[in-house]
Amino acid sequence: MIKFLKHYFVPHSSNDHRARILHPSFLSFFIVVLLSLLIVAPHIKQAYPAVLGVSTNISINELVDYTNQKRSENGLPSLSLSSQLSSAASGKAMDMFTNNYWAHVSPSGTTPWFFIRNAGYNYVYAGENLARGFDNASDIVNAWMASPSHRENILSGNYSEVGFAVQDGSLTGSDTILVVQMFGSQNSTNVAQGGVSDDVQASVVETEITPVPTGVPVASAPESTNAQGVAALTSQPLVDSSLATRNISLFIMMLLIVVLAVELVVIDRKKIERIVSHNLDHIIFLVIIVIAAIIIGGGSVL
Amino acid sequence: MSSIKEHRAYYIFFTLIQILGLVILLTAPNQKIQLTAILLMAFSYFVFAIAHHMMNHDLTAKIVVEYALFASIGLAVVMLLLR
């Protein structure tokens, strides 16, 4: 067993003083594994969504609750769920999937206010937060709270109502779960200074998930301002593809980094002369990639 | 470790280039720029490392292959996560 470990993970005379898993044949094997995941996994996901898919559990009830929880922690009144704002949020999400953009203003210049007015909501104040790629409501609200502009929206005293849409689809080349949060207050419910204003505190939060065609509305508020019984986007496949992909990638990267670091120390101590690539070059590059992988995989805020 | 100390300036510069690539990758507004950033990171890693070996007069075909394979692994991981 020790011989086996030495051969594969430590520079030794048996492996020409280069850990076996750092030999080109093994590195090629890792590339094949990663490329297989890149190419084959989407096809399996489409053919067998119950086996391989994205594990998701986002309900609008929870989004409302978490949002109001943050407001109450800051001494602000709760927002009520508005069916009109939820309808506007659905319209915005559909537009983003249809026109393939990830922004507050569409490439053709359509602002969030168009969708709000189009839903029959005559706002005095309005705002929009966007999120993509998260798999639960708590992470979404926490990500918004961690970003000053999103936080400002959630904790604004100008708003009295909120609406949500949760949709999945393909956006800018990635399969994504998109969450649109729209805030507003109308003339009769305005609590702040008053006056008509496009007081837009638009903010966006993102993460990536996986592919499927166009955006289909899977969750939007019911035709009532009551938050009870609103839809949720829930799926529990046998294997969570995004988690599996991330873990396999990180495992390969961490394994290579550790073996390269061990080699660096062992070779230096034993004073072995060999002509190979510089381990420190690889370590620096792989560490940077791991940092990128962790941040990309965990979502980001725009 | 002595060889690392000898080439300290190279490693610092190399790390800064990679960090710059990371910042561009993470702040890119769309996927095209993200993919461009990771391609440039992998390319700069490959070119800098090869140039370093050339300056040290110890570049071999096997070394070139090793850098190409590590660059491919990094590219594959990021593309997998961006998908």
Residue A203 has pLDDT above 80, yes or no: no
Between B37 and A273, the higher pLDDT residue: B37
- Which of A289, A290, A291, A301 is the best residue to mutate to test the B interface, defined by the most B CB atoms within 10 Å of its own CB? A289
Average pLDDT over residues A206-227: 34
Average pLDDT over residues A88-99: 92
HEC sequence for A45-102 = HHHCCCCEECCEEEEHHHHHHHHHHHHHHCCCCCCEECHHHHHHHHHHHHHHHHHCCC
Cβ contact (<8 Å) for A285 and B45?
A: yes
Tell me which chain B residues have a C-beta less than 8 angstroms from the C-beta of A300: 26
CA distance A2 to A21: 15
User: What number is the ipTM of this complex?
Assistant: 0.94
Average pLDDT over residues A223-238: 49
Residue A256 has what pLDDT? 95
Residues above pLDDT 70, as percent of chain A: 77
Residue A68 has pLDDT above 70, yes or no: yes
Q: Are strands A203-206 and A123-132 parallel, antiparallel or unpaired?
A: parallel
B9 contacts: CB under 8 Å, gap ≥ 6: none
Within 13 Å, how many C-alpha atoms sit on residue A236's CB side? 2
**CA of B78 vs chain A CAs: smallest distance (Å):** 6
By C-alpha distance, the chain B residue nearest A266 is: B1
pLDDT in tens, A102-155: 888 998 999 999 999 999 999 999 999 998 878 788 888 998 898 888 999 999
Q: Which of residues 38-57 of B touch A (CB under 8 A)?
A: 38, 41-42, 45, 48-49, 52-53
Residue-level length of chain B: 83
Residue A205 has what pLDDT? 36
CA distance A127 to A49: 35
Residue A173 has what pLDDT? 65
Cβ atoms of A89 and A99 closer than 8 Å: no
Of B11, B31, B70, the CB nearest to A174: B31
CA distance A241 to A222: 31
A288 contacts: CB under 8 Å, gap ≥ 6: B18, B19, B21, B22, B41
Cβ atoms of A43 and A241 closer than 8 Å: no
Q: What's this model's pTM, rounded to 2 decimal places?
A: 0.68
Of A276, A277, A280, the CB nearest to B4: A280
Interhelix angle B31-55/B61-82, rounded to 10 degrees, is 160
Of B18, B21, B81, the CB nearest to A296: B81
Tell me which chain A residues have a C-beta less than 8 angstroms from the C-beta of B42: 285
Cβ contact (<8 Å) for A253 and B77?
A: yes
Residue A289 has what pLDDT? 92
Residue-level length of chain A: 302
Cβ contact (<8 Å) for A292 and B26?
A: yes
A23 contacts: CB under 8 Å, gap ≥ 6: A15
Q: Which residues are paired to A234 by β-bridges?
A: A57
Tell me which chain B residues have a C-beta less than 8 angstroms from the C-beta of A16: none
**CA of B6 vs chain A CAs: smallest distance (Å):** 13
Tell me which chain B residues have a C-beta less than 8 angstroms from the C-beta of A252: 73, 77
CA distance A271 to A59: 60
Cβ contact (<8 Å) for A276 and B74?
A: no
